[in-house]
């Protein structure tokens, strides 16, 4: 098993535990208690800036994942601090988070097939 496959399996297990424990939010960032009919996603599927499920998550220098367009806009507007910690970022390199993107896509596929 490749490193990526092992990493994806770990993250998938964590996501399943989070969903099982009810530590989820709806896609727009509100608590599940507010909208019982809404689609469930683990909190870490949400961009901290947009509070929406990420489609193209990238890791910033602070170690957190953000939707690419949101963090690019954040940096383009002259902000050099982490949206999560407010500490100065040590750089503006953005790295694709392939594991998280695959996990989100897998979760969305499973949810779409279970609602049919």
The average pLDDT across 32-40 equals 47
Task: Give the pLDDT confidence of 75-102 residue by residue, as tens digits.
Answer: 999 999 999 999 999 999 999 999 999 9
The whole-model pTM stands at 0.68
Residue 9 belongs to some domain of the structure: yes
Residue with tokens 């092992």: 6
Residue 104, in any domain of the structure: yes
Pseudo-torsion of CA 82, 100, 26, 32, nearest 10°?
-100
- Strand, coil or helix: 47: coil
Q: Does any domain span residue 63?
A: yes
Q: What CATH number is attached to the domain comprising 51?
A: 3.30.40.10
In a domain, 114, yes or no: no
Number of folded domains in the chain? Answer: 1
* Backbone phi, psi, residue 4, to 5°: -65, -45
113 lies in some domain: no
Q: Which domain holds residue 72?
A: 3-108
Residue 25 inside a domain? The answer is yes
């Amino acid at each position: 098993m490749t490193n990526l496959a092992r990493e994806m399996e770990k993250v998938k297990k964590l996501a399943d535990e989070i969903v099982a424990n009810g530590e989820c939010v709806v896609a727009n960032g509100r608590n599940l208690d507010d909208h019982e009919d809404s689609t469930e996603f683990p909190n870490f599927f949400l961009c901290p800036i947009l509070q929406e499920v990420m489609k193209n998550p990238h890791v910033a220098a602070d170690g957190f994942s953000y939707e690419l367009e949101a963090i690019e806009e954040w940096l383009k507007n002259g902000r050099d601090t982490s949206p999560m910690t407010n500490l100065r970022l040590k750089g503006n390199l953005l790295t694709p988070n392939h594991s998280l993107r695959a996990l989100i896509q897998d979760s969305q596929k499973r949810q779409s097939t279970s609602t049919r």
